[in-house]
Amino acid sequence: MAETLPQDAKPAAEVVRERGRGAHKGQQTRAAILDAALSLASQMGIEGLSIGALAEVTGMSKSGVFAHFGSREELQISVIREYHARFADEVFLPAIREPRGLPRLRALFSRWVDKVATEIDSGCIYISGAVEFDDRPGPVRDALVEMVRTWHGALGRAIRMAVEMGHLRPDTDPMQMLFEIHGLILSLHHDARFLRSSGAVDRAHKAFERVLQFYAVNPAQASTGLAASPAANVKGERSPATPV
């Protein structure tokens, strides 16, 4: 004999829809918490993040925030990953639409500078996080190191592509060039954020052009920008959101 459902039982389709709405609302709440956490971390540092501080900022209960992250450590790691995802969207993805070689490498640096320039008041989590966790082993430091190395890996690939395209000298050491480029960003962050130097961005761009001049096969061509070669198919490019 077939079983009959209680009169107040909801149809399966309606139950699925309600669960879907609940999951969507949960995702929206988590995204809102992450947005607030990222803003808080930019001002107070990753170490300044806590379930209690975030509950106060968002107007939620501590248990409400805890339900989405479970621990302070998980919250900190989630913020690092969210920052990295936004960094990729603002810097990496637009830049790889440029042709491979110097045009793409120049775009990566230019967008990185733009990103740092917009963070003068809040600070770069990559840089400030390195100061906070340079001597503090653990999962938070590991997550931060992974994200920075992933971005460095993307830059290193762009440098190697420029060598393969014949734009940079065959004897170019990608790691050395990357070291020099990263040094320019650190100097920019220091002078713009700490010293409040109004000319820091221009100096960063001029210094980058000097780096290109040193490594370029044709320095005169590098200084004026290369003629656009056929745009590379970026479909196969690996995003820095993917660990190297």
32 contacts: CB under 8 Å, gap ≥ 6: 58
Average pLDDT, whole number, for the chain? 85
* Dist CA 113 CA 127 (whole Å): 13
Write out pLDDT tens, residues 76-98: 999 999 999 999 999 999 999 99
Helix axes 72-87, 125-133, angle to 10 degrees: 140
pLDDT in tens, 124-135: 899 999 999 999
Is residue 223 scored above 50 in pLDDT?
yes
- Name every residue whose Cβ is closer than 8 Å to that of residue 6 and which is 6 or more positions away in sequence: none
Tell me the pLDDT band of 146, cut-offs 50, 70 and 90: very high
Could you give the angle at the alpha carbon of 205 between the alpha carbons of 211 and 203, nearest 5°? 105
Predicted confidence band of residue 22 (pLDDT cuts 50, 70, 90): very low
Residue 224 confidence (pLDDT): 57
**Stretch 176-189: mean pLDDT, rounded?**
97
Average pLDDT in the 65-84 region?
91
Q: Is the pLDDT of residue 242 over 90?
A: no
Distance of CA 18 to the CA centre of its chain: 34
**What are 215's two structure tokens?**
């490594």
Task: Among 74-78, 168-172, 236-240, name the one with the lowest average pLDDT.
Answer: 236-240
